[in-house]
Amino acid sequence: MLRALIVSHLKLATTDYFLSDKHAITVADRHPQPEFATHSHDFNELVIVWRGNGLHILNDVHYTITCGDVFYINADDHHSYESVNALELDNILYNRQRLTLGADWDRLLPDAGTDQRQRYWRLGTPGMSVLRQQVDALADECMKTDPLSALLSEALFLQVSLLLMRFRHAPDSPLLSDAEQLDLLLMALRVSIDQQFKLDDFCQQYHLNARSLKQLFKQQTGMGVNQYLRQLRLCKAMDLLRHGQQTIGEVAACCGFEDSNYFSVVFNQSVGVAPREYRQRFQKNLAAEHIIRS
């Protein structure tokens, strides 16, 4: 049952939170975030929830929040936190009028005219990991008083804003973010070195668009999915040929090649020598090095 907080409306001021009138950014960590009465402020906030859950009331609209939620609060919005449970978050406070870097802040940060439903986003695990490092760096930098630190803080805030554009996705989106799709595919490829991998089956399992995923993969890695998987398999084959005692056929099977002859052709085309010759050359080098050391 939700417990209503009946308190007077608070107005938080920039002068109480920012180190100086030259600072545009500061970070208020709330680890944990307690219940907080309805309030507003003359600055803006970017909130990233790291852990726990609770209820956030923004302009009389109730939102259940939990780890991975990201939302923006504009100056003069009124909001509060209720029914919190191990809630941990970071408030990145910023003063739009003090931002000096020549960035497209209007595109990166919602303004007063942005519907608040468009100010709520989600982060997946990869995005949270990347953002956590940047927010921690920003929190350290914005506590320094010299002019260079104030500028560095703004630069770090710009980086955080850009990373959010990359990793965030709509709360009701049934699809994973680009970064999560890519991370999931890379993980699947790494565990598929010794077995068959079908991209269409993978996409069907995770409800992904195969064509879009292939384009994203090519854009981020510079090669196609099958080409990348073949590189993984060849790297493992080279390692086994250098250090293992398996037959060529066994190496081929360990690296996902059902036909050892086809494996030899692919290996020769990519490495420039046949698997057997590669093994002999490497083992000769090892033997020579052993003699020299002896």
Structure confidence at residue 10 (pLDDT): 87
Q: Which of 112, 135, 121, 45 is nearest to 81 (CA)?
A: 45
Reported in sequence order, the residue ranges of 95-179 that DSSP labels E, i.e. its strands, are 120-122
Chunked mean pLDDT (size 10), the chain, 294 residues: 47 92 94 94 96 92 91 94 93 95 93 90 85 96 93 97 90 72 89 92 87 90 91 91 91 94 94 92 64 57
How far, in Å, CA of 32 to CA of 50, rounded? 10
Q: 153 with 25: CB under 8 angstroms?
A: yes
8 A C-beta contact, residue 35 and residue 56: no
Give the separation between CA 94 and CA 74, rounded to whole angstroms.
10
pLDDT mean across residues, the chain:
89
pLDDT tens-digit map of 215-251: 989 888 888 999 999 999 998 999 899 888 899 999 9
Tell me which residue of 139, 151, 159 sits closest to 98, measured CA to CA. 151
Written as six digits, the tokens of 281 are: 């050359």
44-58 and 79-94 strand pairing: antiparallel
Could you read off the pLDDT of 60-76 as tens digits, one per residue? 999 999 888 999 999 98
Task: Determine the distance from the C-alpha atom of residue 255 to the mean position of all C-alpha atoms in its chain, rounded to a whole number.
Answer: 30
What's the N-to-C CA distance of the chain in angstroms?
78
Q: What are phi and psi of 64, to 5 degrees?
A: -80, 125
Distance CA(276)–CA(132), nearest Å, equals 48
Quick one: pLDDT at residue 2? 37
pLDDT of residue 204: 87
**What homologous superfamily does CATH list for 10-167?**
Regulatory protein AraC (2.60.120.280)
**Structural contact between residues 145 and 67, judged by C-beta atoms closer than 8 angstroms:** no
Confidence at residue 6, expressed as pLDDT on a 0 to 100 scale: 39
C-beta of residue 135 within 8 angstroms of C-beta of residue 167: no
Judge whether 9 and 36 are in contact, CB under 8 Å: no
Q: What angle do CA 76, 77, 78 make, to 5 degrees?
A: 110
**What's the token pair of residue 282?**
């490497």
Q: Give DSSP secondary structure letters for 188-220.
A: HHHTTTTS---HHHHHHHHT--HHHHHHHHHHH
Q: Where are the domains of the chain?
A: 10-167, 178-293
User: Domain 178-293 adopts which CATH fold?
Assistant: Arc Repressor Mutant, subunit A (1.10.10)
Q: Do domains 10-167 and 178-293 have the same CATH topology?
A: no
Residue 78 has phi, psi (to 5 degrees) of: -115, 135
Q: How far apart are CA 21 and CA 124, in angstroms?
A: 35
pLDDT for the residue numbered 14: 92
